[in-house]
Structures are given as structure tokens and as C-alpha cells.
Amino acid sequence: MNCREVLAKLYDYLDSELASDEKQQVQKHLEVCGHCLEQYKLEEDFNKLVQQKIKSPADIQKLKSKVLNEIEKIDRGSGGGTSGRSVFYLLAPIAAAAVITLFLINPFSPKGSVLEAVYPYAMEHNKCLDHVLQYLVQSQDPQEVQAALAHFGNLPDDLFRSPQNDYQLAGAALAHTDTGEKPHIDYNYGGTDVSIFVLDRESIDKSAFRQLQHNGKTYYVGSCPKFHYVIWQCENHECIAVSKLAEDRLLGFASTF
């Protein structure tokens, strides 16, 4: 199997849903391919995180108490008659849906995990490293790269400066996230790939990240398997840099914008 075939079957491999011969082929490929092995480890870590969240008991007592209190108010207001109850019967499906939603979502609500916050961007950057990402344009020309992302409106001009001695533009792509497509700009910094994703303000829960000041500007830094992350306000947007660079070097890269 080649890298594309292995990555396409990675989820089935993790879920033990492959036939024995396909499983062996994937295992053999992972033994010799560092990029796919790193992707596997990232997916495995995320799966473990999801399983831990699923097993965490959801605290729905507060919502249940609130619903019951509202029911009592309806009953008191109607004097125990049928009109109050009829209102409750209309509200009952909504209340039930609220309880179910809380039960399902609560294990996945933001609890300070870096991996939870940056998973979509780690995945997109990993596609770049594995050369499976579909670029809008691959170019070192700032104008050409900026033009490829023109449909996103006014993006920070600093991100499209002429290549410096220590970094170069490499191209532009689309990051596919739960909140829609976001600009993905790829750079080469000292021989290492760096992705910058341009997001709406406050797009990422930064509670898991360390806040620090660098050259008078606020940054949020964090790490999880394979990558380091730096988040900062870039003009009217929020930028997140993702790379295998050491944290201090990635921070130095981010501070050039």
C-alpha cells in the first residue's frame, strides 16, 4: 500500500474493521513510513481522548432540576388544572431534547485540552506534510498566494510579505473545519514546514494554552503529540501557527508578522 491508501484506511484500522490481509499491509507500511506512523499516533491519541470523554459521567442534574422547577411553576400557576399541564406537554419534547443534548455534548465540551482545540488544524497541517493536501496555489510569490485567497476578503497583509531570509512562502490551501473553510497559508521556515490558519476572532478555546507576552504582544502557546502551536491576534483575525518547530522557534516565527 502507498501513503494515500494507508491514510484512507487508517480509521478502519484503528477501529479493527479491516480484513486480516489489509491489516497486515497497513502494519507493514507503518513500520517503514514515518509520516504515516505519526499520523496514526495522532489519530490514536485523539481516539483515546474521545473514549475518555465518552466514559466521563455527564452532570445533567442541574438541567434536570431546572426543568422540574419549571414544571412545578406551570402546575402552581394553573392551580393543578389541565391548562398548565397542556403547556407542559408542548414543552416536554423540547425539555427532553435539551437533556439529551446536554448528555451527548457535555463529554466533549471544552475542558482545557490543547488537542480538542486544535485537532482540525493539526490534521490539515499533517496532510501538508504527507503531501496529500490539495493546494489552491503553490508559489513563493506573495501576490499570487494572496490572490488565491482573495475570496476570503481582507486578510492580514503581513502574512503575504515578500519572502524573508529565514522563511519563504510555499502556497495556499483551504482548511476544512466544522465552522467552514478557512485560509491555510504554508511557509518554509529554516527547512521546516509551518502552517498559518487565519480564523475569526475567538475561534479557539485558549484555556488550555499558556499566555505569554513577547515583544509587547500577547501570544498563546501549547503543544500536543507531534506539533507545537502559537495563537495570536493578527489585525482583525486570529492566527494559529502549527509546526514541528520547537516552541521558542515557532514563537519567533509568529512574532515576525
Res 105 pLDDT > 70: no
The count of domains in the chain is 3
Are 44 and 65 contained in the same domain? no
**Residue 149, Ramachandran bin (φ over 0: left; ψ between -120 and 50: alpha; else beta):** alpha
Res 78 pLDDT > 60: no
| Mean pLDDT of the residues in the chain | 80
pLDDT at 43: 76
Cα–Cα distance measured from residue 250 to residue 235, given in angstroms and rounded to the nearest whole number: 19
Res 124 pLDDT > 70: yes
User: pLDDT tens, 221-239?
Assistant: 998 878 999 999 998 899 9
Q: pLDDT band at 162, cuts 50/70/90?
A: confident
Res 45 pLDDT > 50: yes
Average pLDDT value for residue range 141-145: 93
pLDDT at 89: 53
The dihedral of CA 15, 20, 21, 27: what is its sign? positive
pLDDT at 177: 80
- Between the CA of residue 151 and those of 95, 146, 164, 183, 253, what are the distances in Å? 41, 10, 26, 10, 26
Does residue 146 sit in helix, strand or coil? helix
> Which position has the higher pLDDT, 33 or 211?
211
Q: Which amino acid is at 157?
A: D
The rounded percent of the chain whose pLDDT value lies above 90 is 32
Cα–Cα distance measured from residue 242 to residue 104, given in angstroms and rounded to the nearest whole number: 30
Are 124 and 232 contained in the same domain? yes
Are 90 and 130 contained in the same domain? no
pLDDT at 84: 47
- Provide the residue range defining the domain that includes 12: 3-55
Are 44 and 67 contained in the same domain? no
Q: Which residues of 11-37 are buried (b: 16+ CB within 10 A; e: fewer)?
A: eebeeeebeeebeebbeebbeebeebe
Residue 165 has phi, psi (to 5 degrees) of: -65, -30
Are 79 and 183 contained in the same domain? no
Task: Kindly state the cell numbers that stand for 244.
Answer: 514541528
Are 219 and 245 contained in the same domain? yes
pLDDT at 20: 85
The CATH code of the domain that includes 217 is 3.40.1000
Res 82 pLDDT > 50: no
Q: Can you give the length of the chain in residues?
A: 257
The dihedral of CA 63, 65, 69, 71: what is its sign? positive
User: pLDDT tens, 13-40?
Assistant: 877 888 888 888 888 887 777 777 777 7
Model pTM above 0.85: no
